[in-house]
Structure 1
Amino acid sequence: MSADVCVVGGGPGGRALALALTRLGCDVVLLEKRDPARGAGPAFRGESVSPDGVRLLDLLGVGERVRQAAHRVDRLEIEDAGQRVLDVRFADFPYRYRHPVELAQHTLLTALAEQTGRQPGGCTVLEPATVTGLLVDGPAVTGVRANTPTGPVRVTAALTVGADGRYSAVRRLSGLAEHARHTPLQRDVVWLKLPFPADWDRRAYRVRIAGDSHGLFLPSTDGTLRVGLNIPKGGLRTLRSGGLGGLHTRLDRLAPQAGAAARTSLHSWSDTALLDIFTAEVPRWSAPGVVLIGDAAHTLSPVLGQGVNHALADAVELATLAAEALGRDRRAHSRALLAALQLFQRRREPHVRRSRALQLRQERMFTLTAPAATALRRTVYRALDASPALRRRVLAPAYFPGHTPLRQAARTPEVRLV
C-alpha cells in the first residue's frame, strides 16, 4: 500500500491528524493495533478535554457531533486538610471557549473516524495492525511493515507519524528514543469508578489533599465518579496486601462520600486500573520521513488532564505544515518536509514545556508532608484563589494556550455544551 502519510496509532491524536490531513487533500493510511471487535478498550482512558481541546474539535468539524455526549465542567476546586483553598470558575476567564468537558474517548474516536470517512479521497484504516518495523531508504524512513489478521503488509509513505502513545513503537524503531529522558514521578495512580455522591456538584473537578495523599475526583459522562487515587511509586502490592479495606480507608481520608460509595460498589481489584506515572521528553521529535506526536513525543502526567489536548493540538499544527510541504513537487518536497517537521516542534514544544512545568510544580505541591510546607501550600492556593489575574497567569497556559482574549477578538457567543 502507499500513501502520502502513514499514521501509526488510532487514539485522539492519530485520528485527529488523519482527519485534518484528509481535509487538506492528503492520502492517508492509519494503523491501529487494538481490535475494534473487542469494544472500546480500557474504562479509565483520558476523558478530560480542555477548553482549547473543545476549540480544536470545532476546528476539525466534529464539535457539533460530540456536543450532546459531552459533560461541561464549570469549576475546579481544591480542598486541603478538609478546607477549600481554591475554587476556580471557568466562566470568569475572558475567552470564547471557557469550559473544559468530559467526553468518553470512544465517542470522540468514533466522531473523528466518521468525519474522516466523509472526506473525498478518504483514509484507509487497518485495524488491528501491529507495526513490526520501519521501511528505510538511506537515512529516510519511507513507511512501515505491519502484521494484520490477513497477513503482513507494507505501507510506503512520504511521512510516517508515530501517534502510538507513551510506549511508542515508532519512537523506538526510528531511533528517536535514543536520547529520551524518562522521569518517574514519586507516585502512581489507581483509577476507579464509583457512584456519584448525591450531594456533590456534577459540574466540578475536585482535588482532595490530606497529608501525603491526594486524589482526583472527576465527573464522567456515564454519570459515575472517576477517581484517581495517588499511591507511592511501586506501592500497589503494599496497598493490595491490606485488601479493599485499605483502599476504602484511603478514600475515607480524602473524601468520606467516595469512601462510602466504594464500600457498596467496589467488589474486587479488577474494578481498578493502575497508571504508572512518568514524564518522557524526546529531544528530537522527527527525523527524515518520520515524526512523533502526542504522548509518543512528550508524555505528561494526568494532572490537569493535558494528554488529549496536546495530542489534538499537535495533530492540527502538524497537518497544516505537512500538507503544505507534501504539496510541493517531488524534487523539493523532501527538504520542505524536513523543514516543516522541525518547525512543527519549534512551535509546539514551548506549549508542552509550560504544561509540563505546571504539572511538575503541582506534583511537588501535592506531595509536601512537613507541617510548614503544607501550610505554605495552603497559603499559595489561597493567594491564587484571591487573585483573578494570578489565576489567569497560572492556568491560562494549560487550559487556553490557543485562545485570544475576547477583548482582543470579536465578541462572539460561547459555543454551548450540555
Structure 2
Amino acid sequence: MNQIVIIGAGPTGLTLAMLLAKRGINVKLIEASNSFRRIFRGEALMPSGLKAISQMGLSDVVQNIPHRCFDAWEFYIENRPIFRVDEPMELGGQPCMLISQPAFLETVLEKANECEQFEFIQGTAVRDLLWQDDRVSGVKLSDGREIAADLVIGADGRNSIVRQQANLALTQAAQSFDILWFKLPTSPDFTENIFYSILRDRDGFGVFQSSEGNLQVGWSLDRDHPIEWQKIDWAEKLASASPDWLATHFRQQKDFIERPLLLSIVVGRCPQWHVPGLLLLGDAAHPMSPIRAQGINMALRDAIVATNHLVPLLQQQPNLAAIDAVLPQIQAEREPEIIQIQRLQAAEVSQGELMKNNPLLRYAVSFLAPLIGSIIKKSWLDRQLQLRQGVTCVDLKVKQ
C-alpha cells in the first residue's frame, strides 16, 4: 500500500489527511507545533469554504464548535456611512461564517484518528527531504527519524520549509501593506455581527466580532508611510479614526486592548507546485492576501481536488511514475482559480490605496454618498461573487 506523508496540520494538510485515510490510503501527518492554538488563525468561511466542508462531511463539526455568522458588511469613509450589504448576499445563499480554527482542527483530527491508516506525528519539525534517483522519497525529522513516502505533500504554510528544501521558487506579488491585529472585549451594544470597513484620512481598518465573541481589529500598515506602531496609544488612535459610537467603545476598553500582532503579508504563487515525489498545496504553493479571508477557503478546495486525483490512483497500487504524472494535473486544475482570486484581492487593495492616497476622492465619496452610494455598492458586490463562491467548480467526487 502506498504511503503519503503530509507536512503541516493546518486546514489543507489535516482535511486532506482525513479524506485520504477515510478512503483507505496510508497517511502520516507531521506537524511541528505542539498545539493548534496560535495567536492568529484565519477563521472566516465564505460559501465556497462552507460547501467544501459540507462535501467533506464536516458540517456537524462546524455546528458543534464556536461559530458565528456575519449579519452584514458596512463601509465608512471620513466617518460617514457609504453603504451596507446584508448577509447572505446571494438569494437563498449562505452567510459568511466565522469559526474557531483551532477547535475545527482539533475536531477534524479526532475524525482522522478514527482511521487505522492515519498516524499523527506532532511537535516534530521536518529538517530535510530525502531523495532517491532525483525523486523525493521521504522526509528527515528534527529528531533524526527518517520516514519513507511514495509522495510527500507540503502543506506547511506561506513560509514552507518543504518548498525551500525542494528549491521550488515563489514569485511574490507586490504588496504595500502589513496588518496589525488587535483583540479587545465586545459590548452588548454590538447586537449584530457586522464587518465594519473604516477609512479616515490615511488610516484604514476593519473590525468585527470573532467566533468566540471578542472584537478583532485589523489595522492596515502602509509600508510607504511607516510609523512607530509600538509606541502608539492604540485606543486613542483607533478612536480618532472611528465613528463616534465606535470611538466611545475603544476609549472605554483602553486597558483591555491586547498588544497588537504584526502580520507580514506575503502574497504569491509558485510557478511550479511539484517535483517528482512532492506536491505543494495551500499557502505553501500560493500564499493568499488576507482580503476576504481566502486562505482557508482555497486551502479546503485544494484538499478536495488533490483527493479527487490521488485516491483513484493510490487505491490501485500505481507505480511512482504514475503518481508523479498526476501532480501537474492537480496544479493545472487549481491554478486558474488561484490566479483569479489573487487578482480580485489585488483589485480590492488597489481601490483602498486609491482612496488612501487621494484626499479629494475620499471627501467627494463621503459627501456624495447619499447620491452615489448605490453605485459604489453595486461595484463592490460585482467583485464579491467570485471571492465568495470561487471561480471554478470544485466537487468531491471520490466516495468514502
TM-score with structure 2 length normalisation?
A: 0.88
Give yes or no for the alignment of 1:71 onto 2:61. no
CA distance in 2 between counterparts of 1:377 and 1:341 reads 48
Deviations 1:27-67 (A, max 9, x none): 1000101013xxx4323321111111111111112211221
Q: State the 1:403 CA deviation.
A: 8.5
Distance 1:381 1:156 in 2: 59
Structure 2 residue aligned with 1:195: 185
CA-atom RMSD, angstroms? 2.6
Q: Specify the SS of the correspondent of 2:149.
A: strand
Structure 1 window deviating more from structure 2 (190-199 vs 138-147): it is 190-199
Question: Mind listing any 5+ residue stretches in structure 2 that lack a counterpart?
Answer: 394-400
Kindly state the Cα deviation for residue 23 of structure 1 after the two structures are TM-superposed: 1.9
Amino acid at match of 1:88: V
CA deviation map 1:90-113 (0-9, x unaligned): 3341455x2111101111101211
Q: Does 1:222 align with 2:215?
A: no
The equivalent of 2:398 in structure 1 is: none
| Amino acid across the alignment from 1:344 | I
Q: In structure 2, how many angstroms separate the alpha carbons of the residues matched to 1:280 and 1:199?
A: 40
Partner SS, residue 145 of structure 2: strand
Secondary structure at the residue paired with 1:55? helix
Q: Which residue of 2 is the match for residue 103 of structure 1? A: 99
Provide the aligned length of Structure 1 versus Structure 2. Answer: 386
Q: What aligned pairs does 1:77-96 form with structure 2 within 5 A after superposition?
A: 77-94=74-91, 96=93
C-alpha offsets along residues 165-208 of structure 1, whole Å, 9 cap, x if unaligned?
A: 1100000001112xx21235211111011122443343222211
Contact 2:239 2:251 in 1 (8 A): no
One-letter amino acid matched to 1:5: I
Partner Cα distance (1:314, 1:350) in 2? 12
Q: 2: CA distance between counterparts of 1:246 and 1:118?
A: 46
1:392, distance to aligned residue in structure 2 (A):
5.6
Cα 1:371–1:56 shift into 2, 3 Å: same
Amino acid at match of 1:128: G
- Farther-moved stretch of structure 1 (355-364 vs 321-330): 321-330
Percent same amino acid at aligned positions? 23
In the alignment, what sits opposite 2:114?
118
CA separation in 1, counterparts of 2:338 and 2:188? 37
Q: What is the identity, as a one-letter code, of the residue corresponding to 1:281? A: R
How far does residue 236 in structure 1 lie from its aligned partner after superposition?
7.2
Shift, 1:341, TM fit: 1.5
Aligned with residue 308 of structure 1, among 296, 317, 337: 296
Change (3 A) 1:194 1:255: farther
Relative to 1, partners in 2 of residues 1:327 and 1:223: Cα closer, same or farther, differing over 3 Å? same
Query: Compared with structure 1, are the counterparts of its residues 19 and 376 closer, same or farther at alpha carbon in structure 2 (3 Å cutoff)?
Result: farther
Alignment of 1:236-255 (within 5 A): 238-241=228-231, 243=232, 245-246=233-234, 248-255=236-243
Equivalent position of 2:168 in the other structure: 176
Question: C-alpha distance in 2, partners of 1:65/1:205?
Answer: 24
Q: From the superposition, tell whether residues 246 and 75 of structure 1 become closer, same or farther in structure 2 (CA, over 3 Å).
A: closer
Please point out which of 305, 317, 322 is paired with 1:336. 322
Structure 1: runs of 5+ lacking an equivalent: 405-418
Q: Give 2:278's aligned residue.
A: 290
TM-score, normalising length from structure 1?
Answer: 0.85
Shift of residue 393, structure 1, vs aligned partner:
3.8
Preserved CA contact (<8 Å) 2:89 2:95: no
Query: In 1, Cα distance between the equivalents of 2:195 and 2:259?
Result: 22
In the alignment, residue 240 of structure 2 is paired with which amino acid? D
Measured against aligned partners, the alpha-carbon deviations of 1:302-352 in whole angstroms (never above 9, x if no partner) come to 111111111111111111211222233443xx3332232111111111111
